[in-house]
Copies of this chain bind each other. A is one copy, B any other.
Amino acid sequence: MKKVLLVGVGLIGGSYSLALKPRNEFEFGGFSRRSTTLDMAEKLGIIQHKFDDLNEGVQWADWIILSIPVDVIRKLLPGILDIVKPHQLVVDFGSTKGAICEEVKNHPNRANFLPAHPIAGTEYSGPEAAFPGLFQDKCLIVCEEDETKADLKDEFEEIAKSIGFYIVKMGAEEHDRHLAYISHLSHVTSFALSNTVLAKEKDGEVILELAGSGFASTVRLAKSSPEMWTPIFLENKKMILEGIDAYLNEVQKLRDFLSADQAEKVQSFLESGREIRRIIQ
């Protein structure tokens, strides 16, 4: 049995365990700041062992999977790498990669670490949100994989494919740039839209009645965990600010066309935005 320590037993870590359960080749341990979360993960069959000491858990495991806020990954990772043995692999599932890679680039055990990012998730969080099919046909981005021991990396990637992932390789900075625009900016727009509507519409009943108009899907990401997303925004600040500025510029353009009754320009703005349907069905 391969021993996997989940540092963070929520949506991502929990789903990883549940997806591997049918193979009967893995044993899962869990570490979490909150003991109630660990208890819940145990009840849900996500973990079989609870650790209240991180080092103890790391020493127990073959693989250590970090699915916690990105700033906490950055803080804990060097200490974990300090104590890993040659056969152990540490993988982080964080949504930013640049700062994390930078933090450990000169660590003597850097080759035992694989920076990864599963492009999968829902707006829910915690062990109760985990489900085994989350990674089916989803992309797992792996960064700087030449820096990781080949045998450790290969085995991990094979297992990842077996639960539905396809692997995409990317540089850490490239990852953060793409994610800033495609993922992080979507969260910015959702949270801002939610705040705008909540400030204006005091009657929840009206929002609920009108949510079928498309609002529900546009604002869905605003239900995401602030605990996870505040650090992502801060860790990827430079690129997200660039994305926000480009976005503000687009909204302003549409505002100006509309304000000046430029129907043709409004329509061509919408036509060009609609091109996204050629990419996403």
Q: A-side interface residues toward B, CB under 8 Å?
A: 95, 119-121, 123, 138-139, 141, 168, 178-179, 181-183, 185-201, 204, 206-224, 226-227, 229-230, 233-234, 237, 240-241, 243-248, 250-252, 254-255, 258-259, 261, 263, 266-267, 269-280
B280 to A207, Cβ gap below 8 A?
yes
B255 to A186, Cβ gap below 8 A?
no
Beta-carbon nearest neighbor of A255 in chain B: B244
B266 to A215, Cβ gap below 8 A?
no
Residues of chain B within 8 A (CB-CB) of A245 are 255
Q: A204-B279, A229-B270 are in contact. List 20 more A-B contacts (CB 8 A).
A: A121-B213, A179-B210, A182-B201, A182-B215, A183-B213, A186-B193, A186-B213, A190-B218, A191-B254, A193-B247, A194-B275, A194-B276, A195-B269, A196-B243, A196-B247, A207-B280, A218-B218, A226-B267, A230-B266, A247-B251
A280 with B248: in contact, given A186-B214, A210-B179, A213-B182 (CB under 8 Å)?
A: no
Pick the residue among B226, B234, B271 that contacts A274 (CB under 8 A): B226
B230 to A194, Cβ gap below 8 A?
no
B219 to A186, Cβ gap below 8 A?
yes
Expressed in whole angstroms, the Cα–Cα distance for A187 and B214 within the complex equals 8
- Stoichiometry, copies per complex: 2
In the complex, what's the smallest C-beta–C-beta distance from A132 to chain B, in angstroms?
A: 16
Residues of chain B within 8 A (CB-CB) of A215 are 182-183, 186, 280
A196 with B250: in contact, given A215-B183, A221-B217 (CB under 8 Å)?
A: yes
A196 to B185, Cβ gap below 8 A?
yes
Pick the residue among B139, B200, B261 that contacts A210 (CB under 8 A): B139
A220 with B221: in contact, given A139-B212, A209-B139, A279-B204 (CB under 8 Å)?
A: no
Expressed in whole angstroms, the Cα–Cα distance for A141 and B246 within the complex equals 36
Beta-carbon nearest neighbor of A257 in chain B: B233
List 6 A-B pairs, Cβ < 8 Å. A182-B197, A182-B207, A186-B193, A192-B254, A211-B280, A248-B252
A222 with B274: in contact, given A186-B214, A214-B187 (CB under 8 Å)?
A: yes
Residues of chain B within 8 A (CB-CB) of A123 are 214, 277
In the complex, what's the smallest C-beta–C-beta distance from A35 to chain B, in angstroms?
A: 23
B119 to A191, Cβ gap below 8 A?
no
Residues of chain B within 8 A (CB-CB) of A254 are 188, 191-192, 244
In the complex, what's the smallest C-beta–C-beta distance from A272 to chain B, in angstroms?
A: 6
